Structure 1
């Protein structure tokens, strides 16, 4: 892992969830240097693959970055029976504006097919219009839905807490209304439809608000954790593994715990009597 900077920070290694054998390297511009490339080969790739190698040789697939093309890198590969294969070579890893303009029409043709477009509209609930395609993916559920078939038309109704419960209640009420009249939809049924629509909108807004609150709480907690991390610098000539960094932080903390504390209390005063009886005081040093 490469980071833009020139020093390591204690907070990177405090309570880190990264694996202990991962390494953090820093460079002035955030890019991998020749030295960092060599350290990665010697301290990461070789130790991690030695016990997993079947046969004599190991294959290392690389891009065309300059840090992978040095004589030192090639020498270490040869000494450890590593066969490097470079996927990009002689500048073919770059795409300029002309290359982009030539490649874009074909990429667009393959991406924007009729099936892909229809699938996108359907997955987002736009065509056909179905908000449940999106809202149904939220994990928030205010109350467990009543299992189908467990509530009859004549049983006591329960307050709906999600869209499915609301739709079931609405269907039940409309069925009861139709059973009591043979006339066209009454004013009562139209008012019921308006109430159902308003309830749907309120439920949708509540689901989105709960999701937003959860995200804000998680973000706030993350910021609090970051503020607790130490910003003190660690002096290191090269990169550190997570385990090495944690050992340095722990060692520094232990040294600070055993350092003697200097008392800030005033020095005691001793009192003497002169020949004439007047008190004299002096400070003990």
Structure 2
């Protein structure tokens, strides 16, 4: 289809050229001879219309070269793992218009989405970009994880799986359910499930071993006192409960828990063996009392790297995911069958006893260590996933074997500055195109040479646009990062009235006064040190310009100048 279209365009050009040589051309006969449309030939000859392919669309904000450069810039950002938002694309489109000398023009509010729909690469599409904690994101370094796994491999060398443990806490929101599918003939009138959006949270501390063993849980309620109603149900006698002000693990509870862990795991340790307990970086797990109690009991604490537990901690995998899934399903069942919500502490322990055995099975606990590469130690399981998520490094290769030396430019046509100076802005390209306009009108230039020259200028314009987009991107990144790269200070602003409102001029005055005092103090210190070493005070610049100052050099033992002695004369 493309070849036929190109041939038709060529025949049309030949027919128009032939018709222009005749005084009274017979357009019908010419159209039949060249197998082209009569109406198109009539418009080209009689009405002097230009081909549609050569017309510039009136409703296009950016020309073809500018859109090509913008597309190239979008691909470059995406390969650098910085995919642009529609708002950023709109800003760069307006910046492109401003660089072309049309700063008063801007793209429409829907231009970006129309541009995205006709984007040349079909692999590009709008996707939702999630927000992640900046500390967690900055620590997603494969090298750190590989180093941590190397240390873990040395620690677990020869240690049986029954001595490798993981301890962590998870929270449950009382009354929280989840969306579920039901089988019904009603399309709109589907009964809703009651739930608590802001129910009270309960913390459950769990500990599992690499062989599938699990320790009895510690349930932490928010409050100050233990209530009898919590124990109306017959619970396992070894379960533990506690209360804290906010319902979370605190330092004192962590110390009591490590002692309970020592008691419950004593029967699993043989003489001379050491238990390895993997914990996250929670503050209550790193206190002196907690670590000291573990050391006295012969328990080695090994921590996870910061902000990495979602990748490598066994309990953060399927154990806790299954834990919460069964908890929400239990709340759904209670709400669906009209039993009321579990949004109270009285029934939580009874419900926990029902779904804990389903979630923390021996197989789930054992597989949790294996899937996180903990036991047996295998760093590739986690590190390979992170490496696959990184953008690939492009291979750059240049083949110059078939390249030919370009022909020299035509003489007496272009100036030396035009020939040797590369274009740096869009205005430079436009000026170069105007200077080349006389060349395009010469009879000695063939149509092929004209098209080639036009293609060269078009490619030059594209590369200039691409370079300007890259420069603007670098400037934008620097502009965003500059305020955040400044060193902050914790100095207090002194000598200000505490009236609740701080004016900028007052803050600047206080800072200037503080800096002047510090400079004066530093000058006194330098002068004192100078006098101690050389026996006299250094000269200070005078505010009076009338005296004439002359300096005499002071030589040391080796003949070098060590200072100057100033003398004043009026």
Is the shorter-chain TM-score for this pair beyond 0.5, marking a shared fold?
no
Which of structures 1 and 2 has the bigger CA Rg?
A: 2
